[in-house]
Amino acid sequence: MADGYRGRFAPSPTGPLHFGSLVAAVGSWLDARRHNGKWLVRIEDIDEPRCVPGADTLILKTLEAYGLEWDEEVVRQTRRHPLYAAAVEALKAHTFPCACTRKEVGDRYPGTCRNGIPPDREPRAIRLRVPDDMACGDFVLRRADGLYAYQLVVVVDDAAQGITHVVRGADLLDSTPPQIYLHQLLNAPVPTYIHLPIATNAAGEKLSKQTKAPAIPPNGDLQTLKEALRFLGEEPLHTAATCRELLVQTIR
């Protein structure tokens, strides 16, 4: 296909890959390869206090071991602060300084600082004003601790990397409308969003660091890859001897 499909997998290096992250990686890789497109990897290390040293290297090695080869150089958010600063500047007409804590915003949606900070308060964060008919409320672009917020950096990166298709877990569904809105404000083409079903544990909880999801075998395990493919509704063939072979067979 010649429409220049560009997909991506964007793990946060907060720990090793678990089954849920493998499903997201395989789902986005397969969609990209079936469209004869590029598949990029972006390390989402913007929230440095949450990052675990060495997790980025481990994630990349694990992706390779499962045959998930990527195109182009791996991008790291910690090296892109000037891009995010420029985006906040470009959005100036739509932002306001906000003194509210998260709890206060929850209590007094859509936040009290939209029309000015109360005289006895100090600005904490920079927030984006969104239309009242959008369910997400005014959201933060630059946090009280000075870090750029997830919604902003993902959009800036997807736009800068020319991502045309975002294939990710349905746990991020609520992030999609605010991200589409940001793309529009930044005059960037809006990617196509596809949300994959979420893998859960026996208690029905999403697999994550918080729910103590076990790491997948880092050296590439054919059975684990088959399970991920079955989870995505694929019927993996049994003739492959390696993860790479199985993935390539599955593109078909």
Q: Contact residues for ligand GLU (CB under 6 A)?
A: 10-12, 44, 154, 168, 172
Q: How far is the CB of 9 from ligand GLU (least distance, A)?
A: 7
Q: How far is the CB of 158 from ligand GLU (least distance, A)?
A: 8
**Residue placing its CB nearer to ligand GLU in the complex, 10 or 240:** 10
Burial of 227 (0-12, 13-18, 19+ CB in 10 A): middle
212 is catalytic: no
**Residue placing its CB nearer to ligand GLU in the complex, 38 or 226:** 38
What three-state secondary structure class fits 127? strand
**CA–CA–CA angle 189, 190, 194 (5° rounding):** 145
Tally of CA atoms within 13 A in the half-sphere of 223 that contains its CB: 2
- Which residue matches tokens 């100090």? 122
Residue 81 is encoded by which pair of tokens? 């602060």
Residue 239 main-chain phi, psi, to 5 deg: -95, -10
Q: Give CA–CA dist 142/147, Å, rounded.
A: 6
Q: How far is the CB of 135 from ligand GLU (least distance, A)?
A: 19
Which ranges of 53-210 would DSSP assign to H, the alpha helix? 55-65, 81-90, 102-107, 150-160, 176-185
**Residue placing its CB nearer to ligand GLU in the complex, 175 or 250:** 175
Q: How far is the CB of 206 from ligand GLU (least distance, A)?
A: 10
Residue of 38, 61, 209, 226 marked catalytic: 209
**Residue placing its CB nearer to ligand GLU in the complex, 10 or 228:** 10
> Annotated catalytic sites, by residue?
209
